[in-house]
Structure 1
Amino acid sequence: MVRDVWDMGDAYEAYVGRWSRRVAHEFVTWLAVPPGRRWLDAGCGTGALTAAARAAGAQRVLGVDPSLGFLRQNTGDRVAGDARALPLGDGRFDAVVSGLALNFVPDPARAAAEFARVTAPGGTVAAYVWDYAGGMTMMRLFWDAAAEADPDGGQDEGTRFPLCRPEPLAALWRDAGLADVAVRPVEIPTEFTGWDDYWQPFLGGQGPAPAYLAALGDDKRVAVREALRRRVPVEPDGSIRLTARAWAVRGIRP
């Protein structure tokens, strides 16, 4: 099985970081956490959600991530750590958030319990993840092409991450003891200037689809590329205009 790779911030930004920043803005607006509060960004990566929290008036945002490569690119307060065992005391934060990371944690229930533990009573715990099954079009097209060109190949993120749906997310939050749980979709446009702008980030090796592609031989990689090229809708000006949907969940620590 191909191992997910998360260590090159620039390649991640080109692949999905740029789209995460758009989701992060809408997500933080939805949370409506008052200014001047203390935030924790668990799985902070290169800092998309951290930046959105700061822009919303957070007093301080601490980022935690296991990837030293990503932390080096994140310019905020940050510390290396595992979401399943946060190196932080109980009740320290008014808002604990996580963007595009929870489904990659081997034990998401343990991570959700940790998020609740470090949140102050009355504080907000929230996360968002891509809708890999149908709403994240750039990846959906890729895995459909991979299934055609390499039927016995990589594992589709849509089937690999059943957590990335409304009902499992809500159940995860309720099981962590959180109250007033709500789930909503966040949809954004993902517009590419042309084929190279769409395809090249898949060659960066960051995340499941690029890691799978990097492990292929040249012939099979070309077969996936051509199967994908046949599927991608191209506008008359050469641009590619898709959409991406994330599922967002929030709850309150009693």
Structure 2
Amino acid sequence: MPGERFDTWAAGEGYERYMGRWSRRVAEVFTDSLGVGPGARWIDAGCGTGALAGAVAARCRPGLVLGVDRSAAFVAAARAATAPAGTPGPVFAVADAQALPVRDGAFDAAVSALALNFLPAPGAAVAEAARAVRPGGLVAAYVWDYAEGMGLLGHFWDAAVATDPSAAALDERRRFPLCRPEPLRTLWAGAGLDAVRVVPVEVATPFAGFADLWEPFLAGQGPAPGYVASLAPAARGRLRDALARALPVRADGAIALTARAWAVSGRRTGR
């Protein structure tokens, strides 16, 4: 896939400012909706900088939260986050979501945030999550609605294509057809999960000004920032100016956008 060369995940701080801060907002709504009782054992597959694992620890009174990610830098960033006072902090390890280093049925819930579409074999990852939970256990995830629900990325890729038509092949709205309700339902059903449901989760993504929106793109963490990092200074400047012209900027300079994720869940069958 053409855009894969820009899918860089090597600096947790850069990713956190670019997308992690918005993932944390979705994680709070997502975890509250799952209905998993206290004392449960959770695994967060593809945990990134720990947004979802942290939300589980803070809001769900878990018995255990294990977060795993292929990026050692992201795992280090997740470990550096402070656990909420009075709650058990998550445990993090470097591991592949497509080959979880855990025994069958070891967890009550397996969750994932914004990772499935970046995996070479998302079906294998869902099957691994199903293997890792007990019969009746929950497997759930959320991914961005790239096609229609990401105001920030929609404006970005429109500006990118306007200044560089070849950027169309990198546009996440085209790259990730998995991130829609029907493909997600099919993926969960293919892993043998029952009671599959897909629901939208929408959060506000406010920016204090254009610098607050643009500067995270310069950190090179993720597809769009990876593309920005590849540009010569003049081309980067043209993209920046085109994006600034296209955004709905308020009189005080603030920019109010929204982001929508699709949350999918299902239960492992059997006894």
Alpha-carbon distance in 2 for matches of 1:104, 1:220: 27
Q: Is residue 80 from structure 1 mapped to residue 84 from structure 2 by the alignment?
A: no
Listed one character per residue, the Cα deviations across residues 74-123 of structure 1 (whole Å, up to 9, x for unaligned) are: 12311111111111111100000000001100110111111101111111
Correspondence for 2:230: 215
Q: Is residue 95 from structure 1 mapped to residue 115 from structure 2 by the alignment?
A: no
Listed one character per residue, the Cα deviations across residues 178-216 of structure 1 (whole Å, up to 9, x for unaligned) are: 000000000000000001001000111000000011001
Correspondence for 1:35: 38
Shift of 1:142: 0.3
Correspondence for 2:84: none
| Cα RMSD (Å) | 0.9
Q: In structure 1, the residue corresponding to 2:195 is in which secondary structure? A: strand
Flag as ranges the 4+ runs of structure 1 deviating above 4 A: none
Q: Is residue 140 from structure 1 mapped to residue 154 from structure 2 by the alignment?
A: yes
Give the letter for the 2:265 counterpart: R
Give the letter for the 1:166 counterpart: P
Q: Is residue 23 from structure 1 mapped to residue 26 from structure 2 by the alignment?
A: yes
Matches within 5 A, 1:1-254: 1=2, 2-55=5-58, 56-75=60-79, 76-153=90-167, 155-254=170-269
Alpha-carbon distance in 2 for matches of 1:223, 1:166: 35
Instruction: Using structure 1 for the length normalisation, give the TM-score.
Output: 0.98
Q: Percent identity?
A: 56
Alpha-carbon distance in 1 for matches of 2:41, 2:30: 17
Q: Is the 8 A contact 2:9 2:221 kept in 1?
A: yes
Alpha-carbon distance in 1 for matches of 2:97, 2:47: 10
Alpha-carbon distance in 2 for matches of 1:169, 1:190: 24
Alignment size in residue pairs: 254
Shift of 1:223: 1.2
Give the letter for the 1:49 counterpart: L
Alpha-carbon distance in 2 for matches of 1:139, 1:224: 13
Alpha-carbon distance in 1 for matches of 2:49, 2:123: 24
Residue segments in structure 2 that go unaligned for 5+ positions in a row: 80-89
